[in-house]
Structure 1
Amino acid sequence: MALDILKGRKCMVWTFMGNTRMYTALKNYGDRLSQVGLFSFKVDATGTITESGVAISDMLTHINMWPHITWLLTVRNDGTSSVFTVLRENTDGAQKHFTESRLWWPYWRSTFWASLADGISLSAGTHTITVSVDVKGVQFYGFRVCSNFSEEPSAGSASFTLSPRHFIDVDGNKCQPDKGFKLTCEMLLRKPDSALIWYEDFQDTDILETNYWKTLSGSWKVWRQDEYSDSRVYSQLDGSGQFAWNYDGFSDVHLRVRFAFPSGSTARLAFSAATCSAA
């Protein structure tokens, strides 16, 4: 299975309640690789919403002005269920906090399912699911309460119809080999394209996250085009010295970095013993 090169959407600007915010659409993993989720669900997407001030559609919910939104869902029969969703939520008061994982490939897709609670006992009747957010403009794609769930990646399938070729003999009649045809299958292999597993433009926060980055020497800081803006504005990392990506769990890595060089400066990427330089 080969991973196709990224074909993601560009940044888009949406307006919520008169406030303009810029959001970067997450890159898709590729056109040929899809994540397939199989549900045996009891409650799909939405129950009864008890809060106002949010934009509701069949596809997603924009949570903007209000800090949280609550759904009431009704379970018809007693039993053990699982709840799959995205974001930070709680079910009947039991809270679970979802955070982004930049090292997990479904994060780079438009949406993916995450488990809120697995194997919980829900009695027949009404239960609550509350979504809490830390920033405005969060997009919530709903939830499902199901008795069974499985998820697996799929690259699709193809079928072919074969039509044996007939020949014309010396008498002008159609003929074919007396022992039939032999079918030989050939698979064309190619080196997989790079799959995006990490992206950083330093636009999310003006503080370097020590979980991801490590300053080995010198001084480094995030420069933002508008340091007081709460939108994602152009940003870059400024400084001098040695600066490391704080992760060593990958192999066969393809890195792409953009440098800006002040007069008389140089930059270098180091991969353990191997070094790539730019000036």
Structure 2
Amino acid sequence: MTHRPGRRRGIAAIVLLVLGAVILGGVSAAKAVNPPARYSEGRAAGWQMAPTYTDGESIYLEPVAAGKLRRGDIVLASVPWSLQKTQMNRVIAVAGDRIRYKPSSKIAGQYRLVLNGEALDEPYLEQWKNPSAVAFDVTVPEGSVFLMADNRMNSDGSQYANNGPVAADRVVAKVVMYPMAKLAVWGQLAGVLVMVVGAVLAFTARRAGRRARAEAAVPAPAAAPVAVAAAPAQATAASGERADAPS
């Protein structure tokens, strides 16, 4: 079974054009429904968030409302225990949570914080590090968050009695792995690139089809006649000459 020249490229072009349109449409719709926050870039200062972030490492910052803070968020906040204007910390508990720790007791063989009666899983901490250097038992008041750094043995935080929970409005930004605004731009560029490739394939497929039709429309040259009967005729003539020859 023969296929029309350029057929596969044509099918691939249609698929890519549709895919590119879907990507562009999806990103545009997502931006319309939930516009990505404007972001800024900075650098981590100090080692309090090691090993998650180290001193001088590039970070992306997005604005965040006080009521949008979630457990596990890494934030930049103005905290009473730091001489810096703002410092990176992790949100361990939010308003209404009870967070506690007792260094003398282990849970499943490990020292772990207890959040609302359940052991808190903290994969961002190195295995050999304890979750806190001091014991504490705190219920986070309304409008506050409980902040701790990841480098627990070499940093300050809400776990110390003289610090305590921090007002949520002191959080100035959230640290993100990659800003949604930047992802949206890359998504749109990817959609445009896919559509360009599809358009190129469609163009080449169309040219291949035209070339094939043009070649089919040209008549084939007439075949040269083949002298097949000449040899027998010559043989007969030669026989006749031998028969007429005198003996």
Greater share of residues in helix: 2
Q: Which of structures 1 and 2 has the bigger CA Rg?
A: 2
What TM-score do you get using the length of structure 2 for normalisation?
0.19
Say which structure is richer in strand.
1
